[in-house]
Amino acid sequence: SIVDPLLRTGYHFQPPKNWINVSSKKRISCIYNYIWCFVLIYFLSDETAAPMYYEGWYHFFYQYNPKGAVWDNIVWAHSVSRDLINWHALETAIEPSIPADKYGCWSGSATTMPDGTPVIMYTGVNRPGVKHQVQNVAYPKNASDPMLREWVKPDHNPVIVPERDINATEFRDPTTAWLAGDDGHWRLLVGSAAEGGARGVAYVYRSRDFKEWRRVKRPLHSAATGMWECPDFYPVSRDGHTMGLDTNRVCGKCRTKVKYVLKNSLDVRRYDYYTVGTYDQKDERYVPDDPAGDEHHLRYDYGNFYASKTFYDPAKQRRVLWGWANESDTRDHDVAKGWAGIQAIPRKVWLDFSGKQLLQWPIEEVEALRHQPVTLKDTVIKAGEHVEVTGLETEQADVEVTFELSSLDCAESLDPALAHDAERLCGARGADVEGGVGPFGLWVLASANREERTAVFFRVFKVAGSDKPVVLMCTDPTKSSLNPDMYRPTFAGFVDTHLSDGKISLRTLIDRSVVESFGDGGKTCILSRVYPSLAIDKNAHLYVFNNGEEDVKVSLLTAWQMKKPLMNGA
């Protein structure tokens, strides 16, 4: 069973097809004979390295293996865009060429200097075999080229080497640097691990010139979570403003109006978690608001989303978050498809009014792809019923829906053993397990007879002694494909809401093999990869369903077909 090429995403970022070093004729025969093809088709790997904005262009650099069927030979591929949606592929930006990066150019970040030019810091692997990691610097060869095609590595690389107390095989992914106070020093973080790998650590390094870097004695923060990859550290406005803040331009006086976010990619669990807290500049320390709290509590996304980065977008004064979503498909299928790994739709991020968590929303530019809108208004979905949304093709679609609940009286009681584990709760009470209030939501990428369908839904629970319901948001792909080989993990998170007006919203971006959902205005997000065998292309259907005892009203649903943007020439 070969994965249908029509499952290749339409409007999510993917590397160009033709970079694969195989002729198109061979590629076609590969699709029919993936075993033969194993030695011929090259595996793609991509993750966000340094998104940034320069001279009217968004630049995206990402981790890419142009050479082999296994993860190795990592270089920085490069694409540019005017709107973060239409992409043009450029030549490789950074590849092994000096002793300090001979065995790999791993993740890193860009920093914009006060004169507007960017500098890249990235991890180089400088010894064979052991993956010994150092940090390097690179400058644009010609800053007057808005495409920033060529990058120069000065001879003084590496600029940061691991001291003896640091495990050099777990020392990587420098952040965007920032200035703090008037001391003229840049700071950046390097992700690492201590205590034999048990403790995640973000080391601070300081420099005046990006050449001489010195480690600050104590790390910015650490926690008993395992290795921290791809750390990210940035200010957010604390008064509910959706505007982003430039890491560099937080004025002294404004500091009381600012909170900080520290995100780490948790190597052992492969997810991106964050905390909200304060940055004590003098002590060079970050203190989470809830220091005794669970460092695994908040995730950007409860699905397939890793190694993300944010950047400040000066063109629209917003902070943009970009994450990587690997395949959930088998390796053999990845090889047969000839592509693996996509990027989520870039998301604007800001701090919720509560100050407790971030909100995320697809950048507005994606709405330019919308056409053929269809609406459903004031439609009651009775217990156990479903309604098909017709009048558009839904294999590439954007769906926004607001549900209205008349009463929470028959909400199920929550088993306290499951109250903190959304994923287990969703595993036990999936989309087909009837409930009281919910499960209700969308069936997307559904086949005509609904044999195949991916459910994105809410389920409301009551908890003894509390007025606040527990709202679970879940993506249940267990019926997403008749193909038995697929890995179909159920993803879930809780939504922090009182449901006081009885309403809850859901937005789902459907893109052939992607289901990317935003619950309650972006409080809880879940990206899933699914690979239907029937619900492909024009055979994909969309439904609203209600498997709860209580009727649910769709006050408004709007669904749009999504056009295909320019995608790296593919």
Convert 142-180 to b/e letters by CB count within 10 Å (16 or more is b). Answer: eeeeebbeebebeeebbbbebeeebbbbbbbbbbbbbbb
* For ligand DQQ, the closer CB: 173 or 295: 173
Of residues 7, 44, 47, 504, which one binds ligand DQQ by CB under 6 A?
A: 47
CA distance 34 to 116: 48
- Whole-angstrom CA distances from 446 to 322, 517, 523 are 28, 16, 26
- Two tokens, residue 458: 């809410």
Q: How far is the CB of 360 from ligand DQQ (least distance, A)?
A: 20
Tell whether residue 307 is a contact of ligand DQQ (CB under 6 A): yes
Of residues 46, 101, 170, 229, which one binds ligand DQQ by CB under 6 A?
A: 229
Query: Residue with structure tokens 């209580």?
Result: 550
Q: How far is the CB of 158 from ligand DQQ (least distance, A)?
A: 15
Asked if the bond preceding 373 is cis, omega within 30° of 0, the reply is no
* For ligand DQQ, the closer CB: 264 or 396: 264
Q: How far is the CB of 186 from ligand DQQ (least distance, A)?
A: 21
CA nearest 125: which of 92, 91, 172? 172
CA distance 31 to 26: 9
Q: How far is the CB of 307 from ligand DQQ (least distance, A)?
A: 4
* For ligand DQQ, the closer CB: 123 or 568: 123
Sequence-ordered list of residues with C-beta below 8 angstroms from that of 206, at least 6 positions apart, any chain: 185, 186, 187, 213, 214, 216
Tell whether residue 105 is a contact of ligand DQQ (CB under 6 A): no
The dihedral over CA atoms of 547, 448, 366, 9, expressed in degrees to the nearest 10, equals 120
* For ligand DQQ, the closer CB: 131 or 241: 131
Binding residues among 71-90 for ligand DQQ as defined by CB under 6 A: 74
Binding residues among 4-23 for ligand DQQ as defined by CB under 6 A: none
CA nearest 440: which of 385, 395, 390, 488? 385
Tell whether residue 357 is a contact of ligand DQQ (CB under 6 A): no
* For ligand DQQ, the closer CB: 170 or 313: 170
Tell whether residue 106 is a contact of ligand DQQ (CB under 6 A): yes
* For ligand DQQ, the closer CB: 174 or 469: 174
Q: How far is the CB of 466 from ligand DQQ (least distance, A)?
A: 39
CA distance 143 to 127: 31
Tell whether residue 110 is a contact of ligand DQQ (CB under 6 A): no
* For ligand DQQ, the closer CB: 229 or 476: 229
- Two tokens, residue 396: 């590439």
Burial class (CB within 10 angstroms; exposed 0-12, middle 13-18, buried 19+) of 384: exposed
* For ligand DQQ, the closer CB: 47 or 452: 47
Of residues 14, 48, 112, 123, which one binds ligand DQQ by CB under 6 A?
A: 123
Q: How far is the CB of 139 from ligand DQQ (least distance, A)?
A: 20
Q: How far is the CB of 47 from ligand DQQ (least distance, A)?
A: 5
> Cβ of 449: how many Cβ atoms within 10 Å?
9
- Two tokens, residue 380: 């009651």
Tell whether residue 511 is a contact of ligand DQQ (CB under 6 A): no
CA distance 136 to 121: 6
Helix intervals (H) in 397-458: 422-428
Enter the DSSP assignment of 96.
S
Size of the site for ligand DQQ (CB under 6 A): 11
Convert 289-321 to b/e letters by CB count within 10 Å (16 or more is b). Answer: eeeeeebeebbbbbbbbbbbbbbbbeebebbbb
Tell whether residue 63 is a contact of ligand DQQ (CB under 6 A): yes
Of residues 48, 79, 107, 310, which one binds ligand DQQ by CB under 6 A?
A: 107
Asked if the bond preceding 158 is cis, omega within 30° of 0, the reply is yes
CA distance 50 to 60: 6
* For ligand DQQ, the closer CB: 107 or 475: 107
Tell whether residue 459 is a contact of ligand DQQ (CB under 6 A): no
Tell whether residue 230 is a contact of ligand DQQ (CB under 6 A): yes
Tell whether residue 94 is a contact of ligand DQQ (CB under 6 A): no
Binding residues among 156-185 for ligand DQQ as defined by CB under 6 A: 172-173
Tell whether residue 398 is a contact of ligand DQQ (CB under 6 A): no
* For ligand DQQ, the closer CB: 123 or 561: 123
* For ligand DQQ, the closer CB: 157 or 447: 157
Tell whether residue 476 is a contact of ligand DQQ (CB under 6 A): no
Q: How far is the CB of 123 from ligand DQQ (least distance, A)?
A: 5
φ, ψ of residue 310 in degrees (nearest 5): -110, 160
CA distance 444 to 512: 10
Q: How far is the CB of 485 from ligand DQQ (least distance, A)?
A: 24
Q: How far is the CB of 406 from ligand DQQ (least distance, A)?
A: 46
Q: How far is the CB of 91 from ligand DQQ (least distance, A)?
A: 19
Determine the 3-state secondary structure of 255 from DSSP.
Answer: helix
* For ligand DQQ, the closer CB: 121 or 405: 121
Q: Could you list the residues that contact ligand DQQ (CB under 6 A)?
A: 47, 63, 74, 106-107, 123, 172-173, 229-230, 307
